[in-house]
Every structure is written in structure tokens, then in C-alpha cells.
Amino acid sequence: MLKSLSSPVWHPFTQHLTDPVTRRITRTEGAFLYEEDGRVVLDAISSWWVITHGHRHPAIMQAIREASEHFDQIIFADYTHEPAEELARGLIGLVPPGLAHVFYSDSGSTAVEVALKMALGFFHNRGAPRSRIAVMQHSYHGDTIGTMSTGERGVFNAAYGPLLFSVDTLPFPSAGREQQTLDAFEHLCRGGDIAALLIEPLVLGAGGMRIYAPWVLAELKRIAGVHGVLFIADEVMTGWGRTGTLFACEQAGITPDILCLSKGLTGGAVPLAVTLCTPEIFEAHLSRDRSRTFFHSSSYTANAIACAAACANLEIWRTEPVAERVAALTQAHSARLERFRSDARFADIRQCGTIAVLEIAMPEGGYLSQAGPRLRTFFKDRGLLIRPLGNVIYLMTPYCVTPAELDRAYEAIDEAASQDVGALQ
């Protein structure tokens, strides 16, 4: 059976016996991927939500080239370097006020792992340990052991159950049922053992692109503050303009105690992640007692070339009209979604900033629905990279996408929704 596979590469989230043969990309540019046979593919999901300005933005590519003339990887325990220092200063100037320290890692999952360890270490070092983490129903925070533990239990992590720790789960704050979520969190906090609330602000990504209101986020932060519970914002996906503002937390007017960023941090060009925290969390680990050290690292912490790419990304946000592009893309989605809002083929139409979601109405939905792979093949045959979450189709394009390119995606969605529902299941 294995001899039929043409490559030794094991791809992520891929069932190699049923998924279509993987196509080879030879180059990228702007909003497009170029296949070896000449086919041009519109990257309508920003290559898993990482590409913001477009593939191979010239300023970011130049920063990578220049940094590689001076740096490769440098041990970050004994040394520092200017790209990391410059990036940290720049980030503190951009994020919600009150965050003062930057810890580097290399992916969204590790950024959240760092956040969890910071939270538990904070209480441990203060001599008042708390051990429980609260999360939201349908959450997804990554694929490491800690982040799987804090994510929704199901097909993604069923095989690894013996390794996972238990968490306290809040119901998702669906429209009209928000108070149930707030009451549940208040009740948990009164128990006195909750160290932190870990949450995806405004949009739950892999959990189905579920959207909730900014005022709920603000109220959760208020409750956490009253009970001394740390508030961790996982903005790995929602950061860098995706929800319409630079960071989703801005829409609720809050500063989290801990903020996790990755994906668009380098414009999507190379891997890098950061976990930012308040002075109080840093100072809880600051001591002449070496046992209170924050014991976390990875071999590639603060890779200098990746930091240089991120510095270039910050400069793009400062000098180019990125906010205007985000606003225009938000409006473009709104205009195109309008035609589907009373369409019986869709169970729900929703949007948050540059994220547009169209949920096809069908009896059997969910991630393992056959609608997902069949829709994915349908879009791929039309030169579109769109990876539905089961029957949930979403668009999250680079900000350089043109109106005509966006029209292509929506026309294909319209066509896909007209297919026989039974054939998709």
C-alpha cells in the first residue's frame, strides 16, 4: 500500500490515502501560488492565515537577505542581537498599552505554551499556586500537548487523551446567550483555583470560524480582573488586521495580561512567535533565587533572520496604508456577502473584519463531513486555495487581493453551494 505513495513527505492534516495528490508549488507572489504545470492559484486563505500583505513582500524579502549577510542562529540565553531588540521595542509600541516584556518562540502553539507556563509560574512564584485553566468551547490553540489540552476535545486530539490535562470550559457566547458564558466564568472564578482564562478574541478559528461580540470579550476581562485571574489573548490568528483592527483586543478596549502573536508577525514569510506580558508577570519570575527562573526555551528562540523579517513587517505597518487596505477589504467582503444573507443554501453568513464565513446548510456538518474535502477539490479545480472546515467555507485573503480576484472566489462559492447537497456529504 505504501509503495503507491510517490513522496516520503508526510503532510499536515492530510489523509494520504484519500486526499488528492499534493501539487508542487514553484513560486509565490502577491495573492498567488504558482504550480509547476503553470496553473496559477489564488491563495484565498493566506496559506493557513499567515500571509498578510501578500507573498514575498519586497521589503520583507530584502530584510531577510540583508540579515542573512550578518546572522544565522545565535544562542539567546547568553546573548542578544539588534533585530530582537528592535522588534521588541516596536511591538511594545504597537500592542495594547501595559504589556512590557517580550518572550520569543517559533510558532503559535509554542507562544501559547509559553503563556500557560507564565501564568502558572506567576502564581507558583508568589506562593499562592493556582492550577486550573479556563477556555472557551470550540477553542483551538495548537497541536502541542499543552495547547491540545486547552483546545476542544475531539477528532483532533482523541488519540492523545492520556497525555492531556483537564481544563474548565465556558459555553460559546452565541448571540442571545452571552450571559450564560459570563455567568459560567464568574462561577468558575469564585472557586479560587483558576489561574488564567485562555481565549481567542472575537473569532474562534479552527473551531469553525465562530464569531462573538467585542463587549463579551471586555466583560470576560473585567470578571477576570475582579478575581485576580490572568487573561491570555491568543491572537495568533486574529492579530495583524484580520478582524479589522491591528489586534482584536482593541475592539473591546482591553489589554490582556498575556498576549500571543505569530502567523502575520513576519508578514507570514518565516516562522516566529512572541508572548508579551505585563511587568507583574515578569517580576514574579525576577529573583536572586534561580529556582524562580522562567524555564522555557527552544533552539531557535529569537532567530535573528526571522526577527529582521518581523521588523520589516512593522515598518510596512508604519509606512504603508495597510489599515486602509484592511478597511477596503472588509467593505469588499460585506458587499459581496450581502447577496447570500437571505440565501436558503446557507445556514449562516458571518463576518469579522477581513474574515468572511459562509456555512452551507446541510443535515450533517462538522469537520469530518465529506463536504470539506469535496469542496476543497471543487475550489482547487477552479484555481482557488480554499480549505473549508467541513461545511464551513471561509475566506481570509492577503490584503493585496483585488476586487476582481475576490469576485472569482465568491462566484466559485456560489457555484459550489448550488451543487447537490447529498453529493457533498
Residue with grid cell 470560524, as numbered in its chain: 209
Q: How many residues does the chain have?
A: 425
Confidence category of residue 18, pLDDT binned at 50, 70, 90: confident
Helix 304-319 vs helix 58-68: angle between axes, to the nearest 10 degrees?
Answer: 150
Percent of the chain having pLDDT more than 90?
90
> Can you state the percent helix, strand and coil of the chain, rounding each to 5?
40, 15, 45
Report pTM.
Answer: 0.96
Closest Cα to residue 313, out of 42, 47, 56? 56
Per-residue confidence (pLDDT) for residue 4, from 0 to 100: 57
Summarize the confidence of residues 351-356 as an average pLDDT.
Answer: 98
Q: For residue 359, which phi and psi values (nearest 5 degrees)?
A: -100, 115
C-alpha cell at 275: 508572548
C-alpha cell at 242: 484580520
Q: Which H or E run contains 186?
A: helix 178-190
Per-residue confidence (pLDDT) for residue 424, from 0 to 100: 63
Which stretches of 320-363 are DSSP H helices? Answer: 322-337
Confidence category of residue 363, pLDDT binned at 50, 70, 90: confident
Q: How far apart are CA 73 and CA 305, in angstroms?
A: 8
Confidence category of residue 422, pLDDT binned at 50, 70, 90: low
Q: How far apart are CA 371 and CA 390, in angstroms?
A: 6
Q: How far apart are CA 148 and CA 167, in angstroms?
A: 11
Instruction: Reply yes or no on whether the pLDDT at 210 is more than 50.
Output: yes
Which stretches of 50-107 are DSSP H helices? Answer: 58-68, 82-94
Helix (H, G, I), strand (E, B) or coil at 260: strand
Listed by start position, the domains of the chain span 2-53+321-424, 59-319
Summarize the confidence of residues 371-396 as an average pLDDT.
Answer: 95
> pLDDT for 34-45, tens place per residue?
999 999 999 999
Instruction: Reply yes or no on whether the pLDDT at 425 is more than 60.
Output: no
Instruction: Reply yes or no on whether the pLDDT at 3 is more than 70.
Output: no
Summarize the confidence of residues 232-249 as an average pLDDT.
Answer: 98
Instruction: Reply yes or no on whether the pLDDT at 1 is more than 50.
Output: no
Q: CA 267, 156, 161, 184 torsion: positive or negative?
A: positive
User: What fold, for 2-53+321-424?
Assistant: Aspartate Aminotransferase, domain 1 (3.90.1150)
Closest Cα to residue 235, out of 324, 353, 154? 353
Whether 2-53+321-424 shares its CATH topology with 59-319 is answered no
Q: What is the mean pLDDT of the chain?
A: 95
User: What fold, for 59-319?
Assistant: Aspartate Aminotransferase; domain 2 (3.40.640)
Q: How far apart are CA 64 and CA 87, in angstroms?
A: 14
Confidence category of residue 20, pLDDT binned at 50, 70, 90: confident
> pLDDT for 83-99, tens place per residue?
999 999 999 999 999 99
Per-residue confidence (pLDDT) for residue 419, from 0 to 100: 82
> pLDDT for 7-17, tens place per residue?
899 999 998 98
Summarize the confidence of residues 125-148 as an average pLDDT.
Answer: 96
Q: CA 289, 293, 299, 301 torsion: positive or negative?
A: negative
Q: How far apart are CA 410 and CA 333, in angstroms?
A: 9
Q: What is the dihedral of CA 220, 225, 229, 234, to 10 degrees?
A: 50
Helix 371-380 vs helix 403-417: angle between axes, to the nearest 10 degrees?
Answer: 140
Per-residue confidence (pLDDT) for residue 244, from 0 to 100: 98
C-alpha cell at 28: 509565490
**Please, which residues bridge with residue 231 across strands?**
197
How many other C-beta atoms lie within 10 A of the C-beta of residue 231? Answer: 24
Summarize the confidence of residues 160-176 as an average pLDDT.
Answer: 97
Least confident stretch, 6-10, 72-76, 172-176, 322-326: 6-10
Instruction: Reply yes or no on whether the pLDDT at 399 is more than 50.
Output: yes
> pLDDT for 256-290, tens place per residue?
999 999 999 999 999 999 999 999 999 999 999 99
Residue with grid cell 536572586, as numbered in its chain: 288
